[in-house]
Amino acid sequence: MMGEIKEEVMEKGRLAREASLKLMSVPSEKKDGALREMADSLEDNADFILTENEKDQKRAEGKISGALLDRLRLNTKRINQMASGIREIAGMDDPVGEVTEMRKLPNGLIVGRRRVPLGVIGIIYESRPNVTADAAGLCIKAGNAVILRGGSEAISSNTAITRVLSEAATNAGMPGGAIQLIETTDRAAVGEMLKMNDYIDVIIPRGGAGLINFVTQNATVPTIETGVGNCHTFVDSSADIEKAVNIAYNAKVQRPGVCNAMETLLVHNDIARDFLPLVDRRLKEAGVVIRGCPKTRKIIEAEPAIEEDWDTEFLDLILAVKVVGSIDEAIAHINEHGTKHSEAIITENYTNGMRFLDEVDAAAVYVNASTRFTDGGQFGLGAEIGISTQKLHARGPMGIRELMSTKFVIFGDGQYRE
């Protein structure tokens, strides 16, 4: 059994590597044409995909929560959205071959830094089947082959989507094998992928903290950590209270299940009595449960917060609230408990805003705005493959360029080194 799993993963790795070497030099129009074919094919084969998706739903019913079941469910509208996403990618500029720097050296050598594909990208994700289409589209655009490994709940949907996309890509002249799905649902397949340095250039895990820790602890292939967001909003003593209430409400309530939602609200002691009752009213109307520190609980009704709450990504209508004595205490709390994702200060004090931007160590740091904006589309980068919370290679929302590397190209005329 273990042997078979290893064999499937290795074989798909080998095919992806082969395809990637050809994909490196496919011209832009051909890639964009293939992406449009892939989008059309998703819509043309919607019935097939929905039938397969039904199988996943039947198997999952009663085993996973309603929210998860909803994430798993496809319908015509969602398939059309996947197709539009790929069409949008097709319409973007092709970054492959872009030269980001070019200089002529005193000895006459011309040295350029050229953007090139990474090669083969492994994506390990949980149950949303739309990731299959997004990831395949972005990887192909960037000139990479991709090996997908989705959650076992969505295996029938993912298999159907990958088959449709892969056939359309090959028919449109893409190298065969550029889009691979690991079909074994056994978790051992993930372990194999993580050690496949010869065939995979980078692995991007998308999912909860458990998956991401497993991947970063066990991979020998380079990885990009994504997504875990224990995000804070700090309401400084000089905050505009109306802005503060609107932003805090939005950061918690607009979409609580995502990584850029607020999990802990920090409030300066000097403004707590004015601010907390106002935000509390709106949050409670939306059904938010508050877990407060002792000072918070003297001002508003709240469950007592325990130490663990400061480190928890609730992804739910739960909010930890802490009153702090200074901006220093707020920054120290964030740098200790945050996951370096998205952090905001609400302040009218110029120096405090600047200090927060300088001293908070996170992928996205805000003054007077909701952390919910951390997103490739919102930042104007186009479609995104995830949000990196590590510092190496890419940080924050990752678009097509973050799925690429560079190489130096040197044009000489017989130069050798003295």
Interface residues toward a second copy, by CB under 8 A: 21, 24-25, 103, 105, 109, 111, 114, 116, 118-119, 197, 201-202, 216-217, 220, 222, 224, 240, 242-243, 246-247, 249-251, 254, 335, 357-359, 361-370, 372-374, 378-380, 390-393, 395-396, 405-417
Q: Please, are residues 417 and 129 in contact by the beta-carbon 8 Å criterion?
A: no
Least distance between a second copy and beta carbon 364 (Å): 4
Q: Which is nearer to a second copy, 66 or 106 (CB)?
A: 106
Least distance between a second copy and beta carbon 395 (Å): 5
- Give the position of tokens 């996973």: 64
The sign of the torsion formed by the CA atoms of 20, 24, 25, 30 equals positive
Least distance between a second copy and beta carbon 271 (Å): 16
Q: Which is nearer to a second copy, 44 or 285 (CB)?
A: 285
Q: Please, are residues 117 and 17 in contact by the beta-carbon 8 Å criterion?
A: no
First to last CA, the chain: 59
Q: CA neighbours within 13 Å on the CB side: how many for 295? A: 14
**How far, in Å, CA of 394 to CA of 391, rounded?**
6
Q: What is the DSSP letter of 387?
A: E
Q: Which is nearer to a second copy, 67 or 109 (CB)?
A: 109
Q: Angle at Cα 227 formed by Cα 223 and Cα 231, nearest 5°?
A: 135
Least distance between a second copy and beta carbon 134 (Å): 20
Q: Which of 123, 178, 180, 129 lies closest to 386, judged by CA? A: 123
Least distance between a second copy and beta carbon 44 (Å): 33
For the chain, how long is the longest CA-to-CA vector?
Answer: 78
Q: What is the DSSP letter of 311?
A: G
- Give the position of tokens 């994702």: 341
Q: Which is nearer to a second copy, 240 or 270 (CB)?
A: 240
Q: Which is nearer to a second copy, 317 or 367 (CB)?
A: 367
Strand partners, 147: 122, 180
Strand partners, 148: 123, 181
Least distance between a second copy and beta carbon 358 (Å): 5
Q: Which is nearer to a second copy, 170 or 254 (CB)?
A: 254
Q: Which of 7, 264, 15, 217 lies closest to 120, judged by CA? A: 15
Least distance between a second copy and beta carbon 338 (Å): 13
**Phi and psi of 393, rounded to 5°?**
75, -60
Least distance between a second copy and beta carbon 162 (Å): 25
Q: Which is nearer to a second copy, 152 or 326 (CB)?
A: 326
Q: Which is nearer to a second copy, 125 or 366 (CB)?
A: 366
